[in-house]
Amino acid sequence: MNCTHPNKVIDGIYRMDIHHPPIAVAWTCEVCHTSGATDWAKSTFPERRQAHLAELARDSGNEMMMAPGR
């Protein structure tokens, strides 16, 4: 589905696995609540940067939930 609303929240990076380069920037529309992805080659530098930040935030959140001493 192609959402044309400009109000998209960047969710992260879509890739095959951690060892492969990014395929797309994943997003969710704030207006119609659809989700999708923009091809990495067609995404803008700010979108890519936000996708990386979203990934880092998600990874650091997982670390904070680990049990102490692990």
Partnered with residue 25 across adjacent β-strands are: 13, 38
Residue 59 is predicted with a pLDDT of: 72
Residues linked to residue 9 through DSSP beta bridges, in sequence order = 28
Joined tokens for residue 20: 């492969």
Pairing of strands 35-39, 8-14: unpaired
* Mean pLDDT of each 10-residue bin along the chain, 70 residues long: 84 90 94 93 96 87 53
The pLDDT, as a whole number, for residue 63 is 52
Q: In angstroms, rounded to a whole number, what is the distance separating the alpha carbons of residues 4 and 58?
A: 27
- The pLDDT score that the predictor gives to residue 61 is 59
